[in-house]
Amino acid sequence: MLMLQLSTVYSDNQWKSATFLSPKFELGPGSVARKEYLDIQFPKGHISIKSVEAEVVCESGNPIPLDEAYLDHWSIIKYDEHKYKTEVSEGGRVNQQPSFILSRNSGPCNDEILPQFWGLGSETRGTSTNVPDPFGIEAGNPNQVPYPYEEKWKLDIMVIDMRGVADRVGCMECRCDLYNGTKDLKPGYKGGSLCCQDNTQCKVKCGFVAPRKTLQLKYTVRWVDWDQFQVPAKVYILDVTDNVETSEKHNCQVEYDIEAKVGSSYSDIKKGSFSMATGGFVVYAVAHQHSGGLGSTLYGQDGRILCTSTPKYGTGKEVGNEEGYIVGMSTCYPQLGSIKINNGEILTLQSNYNSSISHTGVVAHFYVLVAEQLPH
């Protein structure tokens, strides 16, 4: 898959950065682009990733506001690809091996659910992804890639064109009665990702007409070369919908619905608990919620707060401050060594949403970077 690199690698002493563009995709009023791009451009070599920033831009490179192109989510996922379709052993026997092996993060979710190493949503522009020194997310370690595979990265992205839509919140939340999706749905499914497939269409206001736009995701990666001074941080993505049946079997649902409440309390509280088989020291944490979110808190087994992450809502019309959209999430950077998760500790994630109106397909994820050891 061809990807356009905007700039050559920039280096400031040990720091390096590069900016890339995804393949182009088109959107018209109310339409959905939900794409998977394999083998994206990404820094090579044995490196320590320090941050990944992203935003949706038009063909000229200018950023697009959320009220025109709503960035529901983007995810960068690691996988190992077989160098050859088949491998012939001694005696001429052909050994079939998987051509593609998902190399997921350390989180507890099942199978291919939430496997990414980086990824946010509408809050992307206003949310820090910086990993504090001397920690980093390790990439390109040849000892972690089985022969005859090679490490590669893919991009998943979902964007909804909000121009002229009949129901802003309903289109953002992929409410099925507003979309023309034909995918078979389970009984009672009111809205969520299943109704926002690629090229589906949300209802627009009668008579509204606007030209189609060509867009791309621009993403910037910062890194340093891996050396003995780098300390690896593992990526955990926790999901409040995870119904843990056993310590080995999880059932992350990714999204859930919220019914409107009548009365003085308009806050919906949802909790999920899960065991951290291997603990360590928290070096960074942030929540991911959809519009209507009021914040999430991650608790330790003894009730101590590991991190509280709250949304920032836009109040204007300019890019990065779009009114009514989540434009940032607060992050946690604990003092070095101050917050430790013990091996086998039960963590509890609590998510709060405004329930003055009903919501479909909301999410409550928590990204946590954990270092199993501290720098010497």
Q: What is the pLDDT of residues 92-116, one digit of tens each?
A: 555 567 888 999 999 988 778 999 9
Q: How far apart are CA 164 and CA 162, in angstroms?
A: 6
Band of pLDDT at residue 2, cut at 50, 70 and 90: very low
Host H or E run for residue 360: strand 359-362
In DSSP notation, 291-352 reads TTEEEEEEE-TTS-EEEEE-EEEB-BSSTT-BBTSEEEE-EE-PPTTS-EEPTTEEEEEEEE
Residue 250 — very low, low, confident or very high, per pLDDT cuts 50/70/90?
Answer: confident
- What are the pLDDT digits (tens) for 157-190? 999 999 999 999 999 999 999 999 766 788 889 9
Residue with tokens 């291919």: 112
The letter for the amino acid at 95 is N
Quick check: 10 pLDDT over 80? no
Q: What is the DSSP letter of 255?
A: -
* Token pair listed for 161: 């064109």
Q: What are 64-92's pLDDT values in tens digits?
A: 999 999 999 999 999 999 988 655 555 55
**pLDDT (tens digit per residue) in 17-63:** 999 999 999 999 999 999 999 999 999 999 999 999 999 999 999 99
Mean pLDDT of 285-292: 97
- CA gap 125, 111 in Å, rounded: 29
Question: What values do phi and psi take at 211, rounded to 5?
Answer: -70, 155
Is 80 exceeded by the pLDDT of residue 192?
A: yes
Q: Within 10 A of 271 (CB to CB), how many other CB atoms are there?
A: 12
Residues 96 and 85: their CA atoms lie apart, in Å, by 8
* Domain segments of the chain as ranges: 4-371
Cα–Cα distance between 156 and 212 in angstroms, integer?
21
Sign of the Cα pseudo-torsion (104, 106, 110, 115, in order): negative
Tell me the mean pLDDT in the region 2-27: 76
Measured in whole angstroms, the distance separating CA 317 from the mean position of its chain's CA atoms is 25
Question: What does pTM read for this prediction?
Answer: 0.91
Residue with tokens 């909804």: 160
pLDDT for 13 equals: 53
Residues 196, 183: Cα–Cα separation, whole Å: 10
- The alpha carbon of residue 224 and the mean position of all alpha carbons in its chain are separated, in whole angstroms, by 23
Structure tokens at 116: 């990414």
Whether pLDDT at 1 is above 50: no
Residue 168 DSSP SS3: helix
Residue-wise pLDDT for 111-131, tens only, equals: 789 999 999 999 999 999 999
